Amino acid sequence: MEFTHIFKCLSDVQRLRILNLLSAGPLCVCHIQEILGEGQVKVSKQLRYMKELGVVEATREANWMIYSLPDPRDPLLETNLKYLLAQAGVEPDLLSDLAKRESLLLQAQKRDGGLPVAITCDESCPDEDCC
């Protein structure tokens, strides 16, 4: 993955927020939409942009497209995401986005366990008791 591609993705607040979410674990498009409060096309296109640059990847799970960060994580991307998240106030949405993500996943699992496993918590989730 080209380092310029990583910087291009990070240079837009919407994309940064998406990457911040994905760094906590895979997510489907509709959840990203709901957390960001943006429309379907807009989110889908940002994901496509980042996918073409190789910064995110996607797999299909029934009706859902599950987006995630490639494994292993690129250290350049990971370092920047951690830095920005740690800086309170740099991008205020990053923290609340993660909170919304957890409540969404919890709520989805309580409502019906039938959601694709990939979007529930997995080993990449830093929060042990998230799910």
Partner DNA sequence: TTAGAATATTCCAAATTTAGAATATTCCGT
Partner DNA sequence: ACGGAATATTCTAAATTTGGAATATTCTAA
Site residues (vs DNA, CB under 7 A): 8, 12, 14, 28-30, 33, 39-42, 44-49, 58, 60, 62-65, 114
Of the two residues 62 and 90, which places its CB atom closer to DNA in the complex? 62
Angle at 59 between CA 94 and CA 99, to 5 degrees: 20
Nearer to a second copy by Cβ, of 12 and 102: the residue is: 12
Give residues 72-101 in contact with a second copy (rule: CB under 8 A). 76, 79-80, 83-84, 90-91
Q: For the CB of residue 7, give the shortest distance to a second copy in the complex, in Å.
A: 4
Does 52 bind a second copy (CB under 8 A)? Our answer is no
Would you say 18 or 129 has its CB closer to DNA? 18
Taking the complex as a whole, the smallest distance from the CB of residue 56 to a second copy amounts, in Å, to 16
The three-class DSSP label of residue 17 is: helix
Tokens linked to 93: 């949405």
**Residue 28 tokens, joined:** 């489907």
